Chain A
Amino acid sequence: QVQLQESGPGLVKPSETLSLTCTVSGHSISPYYWSWIRQPPGKGLEWIGYIYDSGSTNYNPSLKSRVTISVDTSKNQFSLKLSSVTAADTAVYYCARNYCNDGACYPAAFDIWGQGTMVTVSS
C-alpha cells in the first residue's frame, strides 16, 4: 500500500524559503508523476508543480519563478522549495501521486495523497 507523508517546518518567516519533503513508502518513485498541491485555509486547491521519474519538472507559471521540486530516489523522497514567501503562501501543502491503470497513466489525476502539512508564513 502506497503512502505519502509530508514533513517540514510549520512556520516560515516572510521572505524566507519554504522547504518540504514528501516520503514515499510502499512503492518506488519511478515511474510516476509526483506533485505538490496547496490549499489556503478555507479556500480551494492550487497545483504547484510536479516532478516525473528521472527528474523532469513542470511548474505552475504563477509560481514558477519561486518553485523548485527535486527528487532523491535513494531515499524515495521528493521535495518542494518555495522562495520569497509571503502570508499568501500560508496553506496546507499536500504531496500527491498520479493515477495509473491498465497501462495508462494520467499525470493530472491525483490518486494518492499525503495527509497534508500546514505551513504558516509569519514573523
Chain B
Amino acid sequence: QSVLTQPPSVSGAPGQRVTISCTGTGSNIGAGYDVYWYQQVLGTAPKLLIYADANRPSGVPDRFSGSKSGTSASLAISGLQAEDEADYYCQSYDTSLSAWVFGGGTKLTVL
C-alpha cells in the first residue's frame, strides 16, 4: 500500500479530457515536495511526463499537464488519443519514509 493514493483506473473516449489524482499527506506532497508523473505502456519502461509538479520535458505533448494543491496532485490529459492507453504513476518524496515513493498506478483505458 503506497503512501500516494491513485485511483486504480480511469477511462475516457477519444478527444475527451481525463484527470488522474494522486493523494498524499503532510509527509510528502503536503510538505511541498515535487511531484513527478510517468506513463508506462504495457511491457515497456516508464516515461517521464511531468517533473517538478507541472513541467514537461521536451518532447512531451502539451496535452499532458500537471498541477498540485495541498496534499494532492493531478495529471490531466486532454484530447485523449488511443496511444495514451497506459498505466500512469505519480511520485514524490516522503519524509517519514526518507525515500522517493510512487503511487500505486492508474490504468487509463481509451474507450
**Same complex:** yes
Interface residues of A (CB under 8 A from B): 44-47, 60-62, 94, 96, 99, 101, 106, 108-111, 113-116
For chain A, what secondary structure do more than half of its interface residues adopt (helix, strand, loop), or is it mixed? Answer: strand
Q: Using Cβ atoms and an 8 Å threshold, which residues of chain B touch A110? A: 36, 38, 46, 48
Q: Using Cβ atoms and an 8 Å threshold, which residues of chain A touch B92? A: 108
* Measured CA separation A99–B48 after assembly (Å): 9
Q: Using Cβ atoms and an 8 Å threshold, which residues of chain B touch A101? A: 57-58
Interface residues of B (CB under 8 A from A): 2, 34, 36, 38, 44-48, 51-52, 57-58, 89, 91-93, 97-105
Shortest distance in angstroms between A37's beta carbon and chain B's nearest beta carbon? 8
Show 7 residue pairs from A and B whose CB-CB distance is below 8 angstroms, ordered by the A residue. A44-B103, A109-B34, A109-B48, A110-B38, A110-B48, A111-B57, A113-B47
Whether the pair A61, B99 counts as a contact (CB closer than 8 A) is yes
Whether the pair A94, B45 counts as a contact (CB closer than 8 A) is yes
Q: Using Cβ atoms and an 8 Å threshold, which residues of chain B touch A61? A: 97-99
Shortest distance in angstroms between B51's beta carbon and chain A's nearest beta carbon? 4
The residue in chain B whose Cβ has the minimal distance to the Cβ of A115 is: B45
Assuming the contacts A45-B46, A113-B46, asked whether A106 and B102 have C-beta atoms less than 8 A apart, the reply is: no
Whether the pair A114, B45 counts as a contact (CB closer than 8 A) is yes
The residue in chain A whose Cβ has the minimal distance to the Cβ of B91 is: A108
Whether the pair A106, B46 counts as a contact (CB closer than 8 A) is no
* Measured CA separation A110–B34 after assembly (Å): 13
Q: Apart from A44-B103, A46-B102, what are 12 other A-B pairs with CB-CB below 8 Å?
A: A45-B38, A45-B91, A94-B46, A99-B48, A106-B34, A108-B34, A108-B36, A109-B34, A109-B48, A109-B51, A111-B48, A113-B46
Whether the pair B99, A60 counts as a contact (CB closer than 8 A) is yes
Q: Using Cβ atoms and an 8 Å threshold, which residues of chain A touch B89? A: 44-45
Q: Using Cβ atoms and an 8 Å threshold, which residues of chain B touch A114? A: 45
Whether the pair B57, A44 counts as a contact (CB closer than 8 A) is no
Whether the pair B100, A47 counts as a contact (CB closer than 8 A) is yes
Assuming the contacts A44-B89, A44-B105, A45-B89, asked whether A106 and B51 have C-beta atoms less than 8 A apart, the reply is: yes
Q: Using Cβ atoms and an 8 Å threshold, which residues of chain B touch A47? A: 99-102
